[in-house]
Chains A and B, each alone.
Chain A
Amino acid sequence: MAGSQNIGEASDNPVAINITAMVDVIFCLCLFFMCSLKFKQLEGKIETWLPKDRGVLTTPPPKIVLEEIRVFMRWVDGQTITKVGNRAPVKSDTELMQIILQMSNDFKKLGKADFPVLIDALPEVPWRDVIHVLDLCKVEKLERIEFAAPMEMAPKAGGQ
């Protein structure tokens, strides 16, 4: 009885199709896509908007900022040397942030709220180290973080 037969039984299809070749092709396609599959890392962003009133956007700045916390970053013998102002190079992140926060508090005590943290890194310094300092400052809620302009821009503008 035809009604009691299972779906897909040979008696339903008088013309048998050889699906082996199709399976082979699908296997090949699967192999190709599996080889080309790459999982993306979770990406995010850090806002680093440039100031509109200073830097290379305009002619020389109308107000010269004398108060700043300048973080120097140099690439020496495959290592990034970080120091704040004319102090000795820091040995750890904790020391770096202690100095920055101490300077920040000193400025606040003097009633100066408008001071930037200026990251002055040489071109050879790895980007990750610069982002690391930026990140540490952001963690401590220091919002005014700037990057120093390259040497050729220095006479035109103090910072970006």
Chain B
Amino acid sequence: MPKQIEINAELSPNLIPMVDIMFLLLLFLMISADMGQRELEDVILPKAIVVKQDNPELVKDATGERLTINVYHVTQLGGKSVLSCPVYERHDVCREESHWRIGIKGRDYVDMNLFQAFLEKEAAPFRQNKDPNNKNISERKVMIRADASAPFGLPQKAMNVCARVGMYKIDVGAALVLGKDDGKKRP
């Protein structure tokens, strides 16, 4: 009669390589997570062909850090659903005035006088008085990042206020069209 062999061994998988991989994955996700302040609001930028690559590293030069003015829809406030707007969620054009905001550095401005006062403060240190005809000129750069479906009136207001405080170096944010034909058709 053959002898029955009794196996009495505990099977325990080696978890150490898995823990190593998990740590690497965790590290990647933590680094790529956007923990910055709301300098850049969540917007869908309009697409354009003539878009210059924007290098945030080069933006900070002698004329200081570039200011970013965001024009955005409020339902997108960092995942917090403030308002439910089915029109915007369908990627249609929402024309409800109360749904749109102009914001800088995480602060919204509804009152244009307050907005102008803020920009005035930001523009003041960069007035070099090079132009004798216009001493109001400020060399501070501004980027207007407006959502593609935002009403033109809001970026227009922002431009107007910039002009009043003497900021003329204005760029507008746009996303690059990947296929050249995408930009040829009328929306």
Contacts and interface: CB of A to CB of B under 8 A. Distances in A.
Interface string A34-68: 10111001111111111111011110000000000
Nearest to B162: A50
A26 interface: yes
A160 B144 CA distance: 15
26 contacts: A26-B23, A30-B22, A36-B34, A41-B44, A42-B175, A44-B52, A45-B52, A47-B52, A48-B172, A49-B168, A49-B169, A50-B168, A50-B170, A52-B131, A57-B137, A57-B166, A121-B156, A126-B149, A126-B187, A131-B148, A131-B172, A134-B172, A135-B48, A136-B183, A147-B159, A150-B153
Given A123-B151, A123-B152, 20 more contacts: A19-B16, A23-B19, A33-B29, A42-B175, A46-B172, A46-B174, A48-B170, A53-B134, A73-B152, A124-B151, A126-B150, A127-B46, A128-B46, A129-B187, A131-B48, A132-B187, A138-B50, A139-B50, A147-B159, A149-B160
B83 interface: no
Interface in B1-39: 14-16, 18-19, 22-23, 25-26, 29-30, 32-34
Contact of A45 (B93, B133, B174, B183): B174
Given A44-B175, A45-B172, A160-B159, A127 B51 contact: no
A130 interface: yes
Contact of A23 (B15, B147, B162, B185): B15
A150 B151 CA distance: 13
Interface of A: 8, 19-20, 22-23, 26-27, 29-30, 33-34, 36-38, 41-53, 55-58, 73, 78, 80, 92-93, 121-132, 134-136, 138-139, 147, 149-150, 153, 160
Interface of B: 14-16, 18-19, 22-23, 25-26, 29-30, 32-34, 44-54, 71, 93, 95, 131, 133-134, 136-137, 143, 145-157, 159-160, 162-164, 166-176, 183-187
Contacts of A138: 48-50
Contact of B168 (A34, A51, A124): A51
Interface pairs A-B: 9 shortest CB-CB: A123-B153, A33-B29, A44-B51, A128-B46, A128-B148, A138-B50, A135-B48, A45-B171, A50-B168
Contacts of B16: 8, 19
B152 A125 contact: yes
Contacts of B175: 41-44
Determine chain A's interface SS by DSSP, over half rule: mixed
B133 A43 contact: no
Contacts of B50: 46, 135, 138-139
A73 to B, nearest CB: 8
Contacts of A20: 15
A30 B30 CA distance: 9
Contacts of A129: 152, 187
Contacts of A47: 52, 171
Nearest to B10: A10
